[in-house]
Each structure stands twice: as C-alpha cells, then as structure tokens.
C-alpha cells in the first residue's frame, strides 16, 4: 500500500546505537511511497555511515550546516520548506534537550527551528537517561510545542539493562508516521483528474476551443494530493503551473484526452472529469492553412462528435468512482441530474457558468454536489476551498472497494 504516497519525509538521525535501524526505516517509509531525505548529526556518523543512508535514500545525505556542496544541492532552509514531516529517529537524549530548548547549533536543529511542518521524535536511549527528570521535562516541553513523540519501547537494551528507552520498532514508527498526516482521507488512492479545455484542430494554425481556465481541476488535484492521493492530472492547454506533486499528462485534443483517460482510469479509485471537453471536432483537418482567397466569403467546417470521456470511464467494468461536472447556464440542477443518470456517474457537481463572478475564468465558484439521494450546495468560495470540500465529500461517499485507509 502507498499510505505515504507523495509525502516528503526528512529523516533526522542522531547519535546512538539504534542509528543502524534508520537504514531499515528508510526502506519501510519508501515502501509506503514516501520520498526520504536524510540529515545526520556528527555523532550519528559514528554509528552508521552516510554512504549507507545515501545509497538507501537515493539522495545526498546532509551532514553539515556549513557544507557548501550539500547546501548548494538543497540548502537547510530549502530542506525545512521541502519536508512534510521531520522525523527524528533515533533521537538521543542530547538532541531532545537541544530541540526542546530551540538550539540552532547544527544542521538538524537549525532545520527544525526553521520548519513549519510537523516534527516527530522517536527517542532511543538508556532507560536511566529516559527516566531522568531533565529528559522527561524536555519531552513534556516538546509535546507542548506540538512535537509528536513516538515511543520509546520497553525491553532489553544494548547496554544490557532492561527498561523503557528502546527505539520503537520500525513498523510502529511507520504506522505513527502515517497517522501524523491528518488529512489523509484519500491515502493510498489513485485519483485521475481531467482539467482545462481541449483544442480541436481546424488547420495547422486554427482550432476550436472554449473558455475553460483549468483552475478548478488544478485546485482539485492539489486538494487530492493533500488528502494523500496519488494524482494523475490529464490536462488540456492552460496557463497554470502544474501542482507540485501531480503526475501531469499534457494533452491537446479530446481524442488524446480520451486515450490518456482510458489508460489511466483502469486501476484508478476515483476519476474526476473537470475538463471542458470539446463535444465536436472538425471531421477533416486541413493540412495547409485555409486561405481566404481560395475559400471565398464562406467556409463550411463539418464537425463530428468526440467520444464522451467520462461516460466511457463510467462504463468500465470495476471502474473508478466517477465524478463529473455539469457546467450549465440554466436549469442547473435538473440538467446536472440528467447528466448523472445519462452518463451513469457516481456523483455530479453542478455549477452555473452564466454568472461572470463564478465559473470558467474566475477564482471563485459556487457548486452543488449531487450523489445517491443526497444534494449539497457549497456556497460561493475560492476554487481551492471548494476543491477541499469536494475531496472531503468524495472521500466520505467512496465505497469500501475503493478506500484504502
Ligand atoms: N465530458 C467528457 N467528455 C466529453 C464531454 C464531456 O468527459 N466529450 C465530461 C466533462 O468533463 C464533465 C461532464 O462530462 O465532467 C459534463 O460535461 P458538459 O460539457 O457539461 O456536458 P456534455 O456532456 O458536453 O453536455 P452538454 O454540452 O450538452 O451540456
């Protein structure tokens, strides 16, 4: 399962005998789809080599605040921004003390100071050090600062003593890591989204298209990524920067969008058709630019129908949960309900595009979601905000067979 798909985890390794377990931890986090970068303290390098962790993580290991080479690859502030979670495992008593007091004395503590993301700490130390009042006070202080504490475990320790202080087992750390992502409503789901307009060529320089900006589709891709999904964004031409972690398949025509959609929809859990697909395309595309002089004052372009992408996806046996959009200018809810039934969709999202304030090119939208015997209107809000709500509702409506949590 890919319960950490697309998640960026900065693994901090500090000095202690349990540092060898970080090698296994990298692998198990990667098994769940996480991208892992490693930062080691100087003491950690005495227990396990940076080369080992570099080989396993597939990225240069970051060791030194003042190392120009690694800083030029990804500087400490960039690393702090990059991470969705900073996981320090194992965390020594010394590092916990420095972290709780806000030190910025080495690379890892500096990154923690600069980071906005969640920090989690998996302590590992001798049972006496763990029980020590100063350590306990430092851990309490970290908890009140919002740091998550994973473990420690009890049992036989490297020093031969028995008690609390062992590093939590790797599987337990991975489980708690997964649980730190609270908005993982679509964890492990593969979501395919079509967005933007399509262009139907008339000749080498002209095409038929529409006013779709792609904003709502891109916002949905971002919201689905945030909810933990792996997102394939099949996009017609837009002026938008693609969401950071979406796998974007750029297409131009409806036929190309159809082919990419049919390929990606197989095995997907959710398909959201946001694209304003051109319903018709010129039956013949002129190889040469159509000239005025040859055509006289009238040109006739014969159009033929494009495949209905979302209806084809909904017709797949064992296909994804299929969500369509219905952009209407009148009788919005009635027409949307008719599309839900006709295309055999699981959910339809109706929006009134006759209002200039909302719809195609604007940053705002007002929609009504219709599924099963339910109907919910999302009042006018930013497309990003609407997207988050839509993703939340889809997650709740998703049948067991497509849910991975
Ligand atoms: N859609 C599609 N393939 C098409 C046409 C539409 O996948 N060839 C999808 C859109 O992405 C949207 C839904 O169908 O999710 C409804 O699109 P819309 O243009 O509102 O409906 P049409 O089926 O084209 O009907 P009409 O233009 O008559 O309103």
What six digits make up the tokens of 93? 């008593």
Residue in 112, 117, 159, 189 annotated catalytic = 159
Q: Cβ(326) to ligand 1 under 6 A?
A: yes
Q: Which of 76, 64, 148, 137 has its CA nearest to residue 101?
A: 137
Q: DSSP of 210-237, one letter per residue?
A: ----SHHHHHHHHHHHHTT-EEEEEE-S
Q: Cβ(48) to ligand 1 under 6 A?
A: no
Average pLDDT, stretch 207-221?
Answer: 94
Residue 1 has pLDDT above 80, yes or no: no
More confident residue, 245 or 342: 342
Q: Does the annotation count 159 as an active-site position?
A: yes
Average pLDDT, stretch 330-356?
Answer: 92
Give the atom of ligand 1 at the shortest distance from the alpha carbon of 272.
15
Note whether 195 and 233 are within 8 A (CB).
yes
Q: Which of 162, 121, 171, 144 has its CA nearest to residue 21?
A: 171
State phi, psi for 48 to the nearest 5 degrees.
-150, 145
Indicate the top mutation candidate among 272, 277, 328 to test ligand 1's pocket, ranked by most ligand atoms within 8 A of CB: 277
Q: Cβ(195) to ligand 1 under 6 A?
A: no
Query: At a CB cut-off of 8 Å and minimum separation 6, what does 128 contact?
Result: 161, 163
pLDDT band at 65 (very low <50, low <70, confident <90, very high): confident
Q: Would you say domain 190-397 falls under CATH 3.40.50.10300?
A: yes
CA 83 – CA 243 distance, rounded (Å): 16
- In three-state secondary structure terms, 150 is coil
Q: Cβ(184) to ligand 1 under 6 A?
A: no
Residue 350 has pLDDT above 80, yes or no: yes
Q: Which residues are annotated as a binding site for CTP?
A: 279, 289, 307-310, 325, 339, 343
Largest separation between any pair of C-alpha atoms in the chain:
96
- Provide the β-strand partners of residue 10: 37, 86
Q: For domain 8-180, which architecture applies? A: 3-Layer(aba) Sandwich (3.40)
Q: Cβ(306) to ligand 1 under 6 A?
A: yes
Alpha-carbon torsion (63, 66, 72, 77), positive or negative: positive
**Which residue, by CA, sits nearest to atom 28 of ligand 1?**
279
Note whether 337 and 347 are within 8 A (CB).
no
Residue with tokens 């979406």: 246
Q: Residue 165: which region, alpha, beta or left (left: phi > 0; alpha: psi -120 to 50)?
A: left
Compute the mean pLDDT over every residue in the chain, rounded to the nearest whole number: 91
Report the pLDDT value the prediction gives residue 293, as an integer from 0 to 100.
Answer: 72
Q: Cβ(347) to ligand 1 under 6 A?
A: no
Give the atom of ligand 1 at the shortest distance from the alpha carbon of 342.
23
> Residue 315's Cα: distance from chain center in Å?
27
Give the atom of ligand 1 at the shortest distance from the alpha carbon of 348.
15
* H or E stretch covering 54: helix 50-57
CA quadruple 154, 156, 160, 163: dihedral, nearest 10: 20
Q: Can you point out the beta strands (E) in 224-363?
A: 230-235, 247-250, 270-273, 280-282, 303-305, 321-328, 347-352
Q: Cβ(325) to ligand 1 under 6 A?
A: yes
Indicate the top mutation candidate among 200, 326, 370 to test ligand 1's pocket, ranked by most ligand atoms within 8 A of CB: 326
Rounded to two decimals, the pTM is 0.65
Indicate the top mutation candidate among 261, 321, 324 to test ligand 1's pocket, ranked by most ligand atoms within 8 A of CB: 324
Q: What percent of the chain has pLDDT over 70?
A: 95
Could you check whether 8-180 and 190-397 share the same CATH topology?
A: yes
How far away, in angstroms, is 279 Cα from ligand 1 center? 7
- In three-state secondary structure terms, 190 is strand
Query: At a CB cut-off of 8 Å and minimum separation 6, what does 290 contact?
Result: 202, 203, 206, 299
Note whether 276 and 305 are within 8 A (CB).
no
Average pLDDT, stretch 132-138?
Answer: 97
pLDDT band at 71 (very low <50, low <70, confident <90, very high): low
Could you read off the pLDDT of 7-55 as tens digits, one per residue? 899 999 999 999 999 999 999 999 999 999 999 999 999 999 999 999 9
Average pLDDT, stretch 125-145?
Answer: 94
What number of CA atoms fall less than 13 Å from residue 396's CA on the CB side? 9
Give the atom of ligand 1 at the shortest distance from the alpha carbon of 310.
7
What number of CA atoms fall less than 13 Å from residue 269's CA on the CB side? 24
CA 55 – CA 295 distance, rounded (Å): 65
Residue with tokens 């302590």: 123
More confident residue, 270 or 225: 270
Looking at residue 62, the DSSP 8-state letter turns out to be B
Residue with tokens 């399962």: 1
Exposed/middle/buried for residue 305 (C-beta within 10 Å: 0-12, 13-18, 19+): exposed
Average pLDDT, stretch 148-156?
Answer: 91
Q: Cβ(272) to ligand 1 under 6 A?
A: no
**Which residue, by CA, sits nearest to atom 18 of ligand 1?**
326
Residue 361 has pLDDT above 90, yes or no: no
Integer distance in angstroms from the first to the last C-alpha of the chain? 10
Delimit the domains of the chain by residue range: 8-180, 190-397
């Amino acid at each position: 399962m890919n319960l950490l798909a697309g998640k960026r985890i900065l693994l901090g390794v500090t000095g202690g005998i349990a540092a060898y377990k970080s090698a296994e931890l990298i692998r198990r986090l990667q098994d769940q789809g996480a991208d892992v970068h490693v930062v080691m303290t100087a003491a950690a390098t005495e227990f396990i080599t940076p080369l080992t962790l570099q080989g396993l993580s597939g990225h240069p290991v970051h060791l030194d605040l003042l190392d120009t080479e690694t800083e030029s690859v990804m500087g400490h502030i960039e690393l702090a921004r990059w991470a969705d979670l900073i996981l320090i495992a194992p965390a020594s008593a010394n590092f916990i003390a420095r972290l709780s007091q806000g030190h910025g004395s080495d690379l890892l503590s500096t990154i923690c100071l600069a980071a906005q993301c969640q920090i989690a700490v998996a302590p590992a130390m001798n049972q006496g050090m763990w029980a020590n009042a100063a350590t306990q006070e430092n851990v309490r202080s970290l908890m009140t600062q919002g740091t998550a504490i994973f473990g420690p475990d009890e049992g036989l320790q490297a020093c031969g003593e028995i008690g609390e202080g062992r590093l939590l087992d790797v599987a337990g750390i991975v489980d708690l890591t997964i649980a730190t992502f609270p908005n993982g409503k679509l964890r492990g789901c593969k979501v395919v989204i079509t967005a933007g307009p399509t262009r139907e060529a008339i000749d080498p320089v002209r095409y038929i298209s529409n006013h779709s900006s792609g904003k709502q589709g891109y916002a949905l891709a971002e919201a689905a990524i945030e909810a933990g999904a792996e997102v394939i964004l099949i996009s017609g031409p837009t002026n938008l920067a693609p969401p950071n972690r979406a796998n974007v398949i750029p297409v131009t025509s409806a036929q190309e969008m159809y082919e990419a959609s049919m390929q990606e929809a197989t095995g997907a859990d959710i398909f959201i058709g946001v694209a304003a697909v051109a319903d018709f395309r010129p039956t013949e595309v002129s190889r040469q630019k159509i000239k005025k002089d040859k055509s006289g004052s009238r040109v006739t372009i014969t159009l033929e129908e494009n495949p209905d992408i979302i209806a084809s996806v909904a017709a797949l046996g064992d296909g994804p949960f299929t969500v369509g959009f219905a952009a209407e200018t009148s009788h919005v809810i009635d027409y949307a309900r008719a599309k839900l039934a006709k295309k055999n969709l699981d959910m339809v999202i109706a929006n009134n595009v006759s209002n200039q304030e909302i719809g195609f090119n604007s940053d705002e939208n007002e929609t009504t979601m219709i599924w099963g015997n339910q109907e919910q209107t999302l009042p006018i809000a930013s497309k990003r905000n609407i997207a988050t709500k839509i993703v939340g509702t889809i997650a709740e409506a998703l049948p067991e067979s497509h849910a991975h949590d």
